[in-house]
Structure 1
């Protein structure tokens, strides 16, 4: 059973790399988690602000991300080829940000009552817009996970091929291939 109160020398924390801090966090080491947070949270907040101007959403996503890091550090630490801890944290944060956007979209689905007279969109347009959105959502759910991750990184997060490669821990050529396969699968599913 890990000793949560274990005291680490601050010099050990400063010398430890991010992956080591995550491994210690998996063992319940609160000081290692604090050091990992101190190192990564400013960078992560900047990246999130580039994708979302709402400070409340950014703060919520940061909190959810580091809560997930604390709870799931063992999943990162338990993998042999874990990749970079920073990439792992960014993946968690990007997923939490997408979830926040989805929650916001669901909350805003109730259309506001117009205060002035306007012309209503044609019923056919409303049906087609809903159908295309549902079809796209279904097509995305059918994609294999590795293709969805590439799409999420490149399309939703706006990352380049190189950034996606670093984030996912795969070669750039693999990212390009997966992006092409994902586009082809979506095109086929939607046609």
Structure 2
């Protein structure tokens, strides 16, 4: 079976076993949408390109740790958004004069939301819901995808996205009260 015809899960399994050629297939398959989505969150093309490269280096290094509890595109997006947050932090720290110290720069609204999703009450609540519900929340609410786009990304029917989103909202309400 050629690498091009393998599923994302099969490609990651092969990559985890040292088959580096599968990284090229994963890159060709996922880099275009990743560039587009990251460009919607950051206007600096250089930063976006660097984040995409860092993401695929992390995919290469972490393929053996992929648990398979969600879709591969959602896993890759999770890596990418964390890399983007790291870039925001690094850029903010680089622009703060040393005399002002670490806490002087006020994070942007998007940075605050992204940091809250990764480390705040919402992050704790998201960890408590099932991976399937979490993936739908990330795709539709946090990433701003339509239900059709989320369905395509997650490889599930549109109706399933809608149902999981209703269930996820109810579960998050329970967790955040």
Q: Which residue of 1 aligns with 2:113?
A: none
Q: Which residue of 2 aligns with 1:125?
A: none
C-alpha offsets along residues 120-163 of structure 1, whole Å, 9 cap, x if unaligned? xxxxxxxxxx9xx9443432232222221111111121111122
- The question of whether the paired residues in 1 share the 8 Å contact of 2:132 and 2:164 is answered with yes
Cα distance change on mapping 1:35 and 1:180 into 2, 3 Å: closer
Greater CA radius of gyration, 1 or 2?
1
Shift of 1:170: 2.3
Greater displacement, 33-42 / 18-27: 18-27
Aligned mate of 1:181, from 153, 167, 174: 167
- The question of whether the paired residues in 2 share the 8 Å contact of 1:153 and 1:164 is answered with yes
Aligned mate of 1:157, from 110, 121, 143: 143
- TM-score, with structure 1 as normaliser: 0.58
1:170 partnered with 2:156: yes
Cα distance change on mapping 1:96 and 1:55 into 2, 3 Å: farther
- TM-score, with structure 2 as normaliser: 0.61
Q: Which residue of 2 aligns with 1:60?
A: 50
Q: Which residue of 1 aligns with 2:59?
A: 69
Number of residue pairs aligned between Structure 1 and Structure 2: 153
Describe how 1:39-188 pairs up with structure 2 within 5 A. Answer: 40-73=30-63, 88=72, 90-103=73-86, 104=88, 110-112=103-105, 134-188=120-174
CA distance in 2, matches of 1:140, 1:36: 27
CA distance in 2, matches of 1:65, 1:99: 9
Cα distance change on mapping 1:58 and 1:93 into 2, 3 Å: farther
- The question of whether the paired residues in 2 share the 8 Å contact of 1:18 and 1:36 is answered with no
